[in-house]
Structure 1
C-alpha cells in the first residue's frame, strides 16, 4: 500500500510514522507513506496556501490551486483508490472503514487547516470525507496519523501475529474481552481460573461472554 499525505505542516507527521508498527511496515516494504509539503505546490512568491474567504467572515481558507497541483501530479504517477479529506464534518471513522481502506492499494489524504479548504476541492477531487470524532483540532495531521495507523496495522504481514487484529475491539461489532498475563496472582489479585485451565473451547466461550457483557455495558449502541 502507498499512502500520500498532503499537509502544510509535514514536520507534525515525522514522529508518528518513525516508530513501532508503522516503521516496521515500511521497513518490510508493506507500506509506503509519503508526506508532501503543500507549500511546494504554491505558485505564489511567498508560497502562500491560504487566503481570505469570499463573502467575508472570520478565519482563512486554504486555496484550491496548491492542492490541485499536488493531487494532479500524484495522479500522473499512479491510480488512486481514494482521495480522503480529514474533516470534523465527515463520516465518523470506525473499524469497518479501516477494514475497507486496508484493502485498497493507493490512498491520498488531505490535511486541512485554518477555516477549512476551498469547497471546490471537496466537490471535484475528494472521494471520501472522514472525521475521527465530534470535535475540532488545529489541523488534519493528527487525524491523518490516526487513520494511517488503523489501516496499516491491518495489512497482512505487518503484525507478528496476524490473528491479533481480527480479535481487536470493534471487529464483529463487539468490544474485546479482558486480557491478563503473568503472574497468575499479584498482591491477592488473581487471573480467572478458566484462563489457566487449558480448555480452549471453554476459554473461547468465556471470552465471547465477557466481550458481549462488556459491549452491553459500555457500548450498547453497537449491539443495536
Structure 2
C-alpha cells in the first residue's frame, strides 16, 4: 500500500521540494509514498480566484475563506476519504512522535497549509480537521510545517530506513532525548570516546546510554522530563520495545 500525501496549498510548486531527495526521494521513486497537491484557488468563484478576505472585526492581514477552503477539503475527501485531515497552524496541538507514528501507519494524510492570518474558524466547526503545530513560532505559511510533518512520517514507512528497528531508539521514542553518539577517530582534539563505549560490555553500554538520555533530558528539556518521570514505563510513541530476555 502506498502512503499518499495530499497537500492543500497556494504554492504547489513547493512540493515535494526537499522530500524529492535523500531517503524520502528514494522512497517516492520506489512507490512507498506519493505526493499530490491541490490548489484552493481552483475552487474560487470570482475572476481573480480569490481565496481570502479581510478579517471580521477589523485588523491587519487577510483570512482564508471557509467556503473556498471547505470546497478544497471536500475534493480531497473524495480522492482519499480514509486519511486524516490536518491543518498546519500555530494555534494547533503540538505534533508528537506518537502522532507521527499513528499517521505513518495509515493510508496517508491530507494536509492543509495555512497562509496570511490563518483560517476562518468556521472551517474547523464544519469539517473534521485536526489542527497541528510544529512549534511555538510563526512561519510565512504552513508549507514548511507540512514538509516537516511528512518527513517525520515517511522515514517510518516500511523499508524506508532499512532495518525495521532503525527508528525505535531515538529522541522522543521512549519519552527522553537520545543519548550522545560517537564514532571514529577514537581521539579527536584531545577528546576521547567514553571508555564504557569502548568496553564491549553491552550491559554497561545500555546502562550508560539510559543514564545519559535521562540526564540530558532533565537538563535540556525539563518539560519532557516531567512527563517521562510521571508517565508509564513504555514507549510513548508506540515504537516496538526490545525483548531484553531474548537477547
Indicate the TM-score class for this superposition, using the shorter chain for normalisation: over 0.9
Which of 95, 98, 106 is residue 96 of structure 1 equivalent to? 98
Distance 2:11 2:56 in 1: 25
Q: Output the aligned Cα RMSD.
A: 1.7
Are the aligned partners of 1:3 and 1:107 in contact in 2 as well (CA < 8 Å)?
yes
Distance 1:161 1:136 in 2: 36
In the other structure, the counterpart of 1:183 is 185
Residues 156-165 or 87-96, more deviating: 156-165
Structure 1: which 5+ residue stretches go unaligned? Answer: none
Normalised TM-score (structure 2): 0.84
Are the aligned partners of 2:87 and 2:130 in contact in 1 as well (CA < 8 Å)?
yes
1:195 Cα shift? 1.5
Is residue 78 from structure 1 mapped to residue 80 from structure 2 by the alignment?
Answer: yes
In the other structure, the counterpart of 1:59 is 61
In the other structure, the counterpart of 1:26 is 28
Structure 2: which 5+ residue stretches go unaligned? Answer: 227-247
Aligned residues: 224
Are the aligned partners of 1:64 and 1:121 in contact in 2 as well (CA < 8 Å)?
yes
In the other structure, the counterpart of 2:245 is none
Q: For each residue in 1:125-148, what CA deviation from the matched residue of structure 2 results, as whole angstroms up to 9, or x when unmatched?
A: 243111111222111111111111
Are the aligned partners of 1:79 and 1:106 in contact in 2 as well (CA < 8 Å)?
no
Which of 173, 176, 188 is residue 174 of structure 1 equivalent to? 176
Q: Where in structure 2 are the equivalents of 1:1-224 lying within 5 Å?
A: 1-224=3-226
Alignment partner of 2:85: what SS?
A: strand
Distance 2:18 2:123 in 1: 27
